[in-house]
Amino acid sequence: MRLAVTGATGFVGGAVCRAAVAAGWQVTAFGRRATADAGRLAGAAYRSWDIGAAKLADPPAVDAVVHCAASATDTGVAREVWRTNLLGTHHVLASFPGRRIVHVSSGSVYDPFRPTVCAKEHEAPVERYLNAYAAAKAAAEQLVLAVARDAVVLRPHAVYGAGDTTLLPRLLENVRFGRLPVPGTGKVLVSMTHVDSLARACLLAATAEPAWPSVFNIADRAPVTVDWALRGLLASAGVPVRPAYVPAWLLSPPARAFPRGRLNRYVISQFAVERTLDTTAAIERLGFEPAPTAFPPP
């Protein structure tokens, strides 16, 4: 199996590279950086490519592409987010016409204005989103499904695991005096996705023959409470921090006034109400085997 992986220097892309190499696949890794840590890529061949700038001049011959590259920020400049997440996806499609495209999307494409309760794949995209990240990911999904003859879209949520460069670091940035302020009560349920499970799902999607529409939620075996998840993530970092819950209604006015603040409307929507995914389709049609939520030791 010959595989191309975009965003290979990132958290998810690196995990996909390591899983594919371990499976004996021939992997070409792509990322924006000039060079990459060979260990993180398990020795996969690496090429520098800014997908937001242009299509690839000399693409390798591959059987499939796992497209992980994305601007994963809820406070970034909208122009740059759209450049990477939508224009970049267009350049990936143009660079590998006729190939199986596995597009790693996000659970953020579901409706942010109401709880996501065991959401099924047909419930997204929706008309309105709270930030450029979610809107661009939804638009990229639609582009992939419209243009690629052979495409699979995966929707993970709250991806975590060893080497996390997004979720856990963002939490630690918000710690103040040994407390982590969190919108809501901590009692609502959330679906988490271990990065190794997501990597395995990517390899399944690269080789499976699912019927259209090929969109799948990817998550751990069962939801957990926000409080349990946060305590596990913080403990995995070896940081003696405890969540401090703040009623969402108190945070809503400042979140509206400062939409790019750390406790913005998007963050409130992710922590204060249920965000759970139904993975039945991935289990039945991809052969995905979800594992229980488990955090790495500190």
Alpha carbon separation from 103 to 1, 35, 72, 184, 261 (Å, rounded): 18, 24, 14, 32, 29
Specify whether the CB–CB gap between 72 and 136 falls below 8 A: no
Strand boundaries in the chain, DSSP class E: 2-6, 26-31, 45-48, 64-67, 100-104, 116-119, 151-156, 159-160, 179-183, 189-190, 193-194, 215-218, 224-225, 242-246, 275-277
Give the H or E element holding residue 195. Answer: helix 195-207
Antiparallel, parallel or unpaired: β 26-31 and 275-277 = unpaired
Question: 50-84 as b/e, with b when 16 or more CB fall inside 10 Å?
Answer: ebbeeebeebeebebbbbbbbbbbbbeeeeebbbb
Packing angle of the helix pair 132-147, 88-95 (nearest 10 deg): 20
Active-site residue, selected from the candidate residues 46, 110, 129, 133: 133
Question: Does 133 participate in catalysis according to the annotation?
Answer: yes
Q: What is the rounded end-to-end Cα distance, in angstroms, of the chain?
A: 35
Query: How far is Cα 102 from Cα 194, in angstroms, rounded to an integer?
Result: 18
Catalytic residues: 133
